[in-house]
A and B are shown apart, each in its own frame.
Chain A
Amino acid sequence: EAAVTQSPRNKVTVTGGNVTLSCRQTNSHNYMYWYRQDTGHGLRLIHYSYGAGNLQIGDVPDGYKATRTTQEDFFLLLELASPSQTSLYFCASSEGRNYAEQFFGPGTRLTVL
């Protein structure tokens, strides 16, 4: 079965702190995504990638960087964390075919004090 894992599951940092969120998928999918989920909003796309070394900008990229080191691993970097980045972060992966389902990880809850 498809598997997307995220670490850490919970993270607390201070304003200005440096945070890296990790995502690994064992689905052999080319596409990987980072989203944030905030109360009252739908998931919003931060960055995505369609292969190792590839990066694409999403809809809310400000304050975030991402790196796709291998087909399996996708990282989200917050170099100067701010309280507005307190959120629930989800990673997902999918195939490139039509209507391909995105498989989601369990999420990382980030709190920036």
Chain B
Amino acid sequence: KTQVEQSPQSLVVRQGENCVLQCNYSVTPDNHLRWFKQDTGKGLVSLTVLVDQKDKTSNGRYSATLDKDAKHSTLHITATLLDDTATYICVVGDRGSALGRLHFGAGTQLIVIP
């Protein structure tokens, strides 16, 4: 059973618009949550990690929230650029240490058009 669900599956926005990506999960325990960006044909690159029960992070035009009570996270991208075209993957870690398992979502494919 899929434990990390991302929505929407795909999204098209115009350059300059904002967008919000959603991640719902059922992983227990939920130690931390990380968002990755995956450019086509390339590996995953970390954008941010959220750890606290109710957490917020900001990394340039990317900001993220986590609510562990709701088992829900969002990734906001402000003023999108063409280079933001990629797949964004939500990953939930069930432990803080490297011995824990990572549970990967299938990703949201974002396409930014001129």
A residues sitting closer than 8 Å to B (CB atoms) are 4, 30-31, 40-45, 50, 59, 90, 92, 94-102, 104-107
CB-defined contacts of B101 to chain A, threshold 8 Å:
45, 59
Tell me whether A107 and B46 are in contact (CB under 8 A). Answer: no
* Chain B stretch 75-114: residues in CB contact (< 8 A) with chain A: 89, 91, 93, 96-99, 101-107
When distances are taken between beta carbons in the complex, the residues of chain B under 8 Å from A104 are: 43-45
Q: How large is the interface on B (under 10, 10 to 19, 20 to 34, 35 or more residues)?
A: 20 to 34
Which chain A residue shows the least CB distance to B5? A42
Q: What are 11 A-B pairs at a CB distance below 8 A?
A: A42-B89, A42-B91, A42-B105, A42-B106, A43-B104, A45-B102, A90-B44, A92-B43, A99-B49, A102-B44, A106-B43
- Whether the Cβ atoms of A107 and B41 lie closer than 8 Å is yes
CB distance from A68 to the nearest CB of B (A): 14
Contact B93 A99 (CB under 8 A): yes
- Given A42-B91, A102-B46, 18 more A-B residue pairs with CB atoms under 8 Å apart are A40-B106, A41-B106, A42-B104, A42-B106, A43-B89, A43-B102, A43-B104, A90-B43, A94-B98, A96-B98, A97-B97, A98-B96, A101-B34, A104-B43, A104-B44, A106-B41, A106-B42, A107-B42
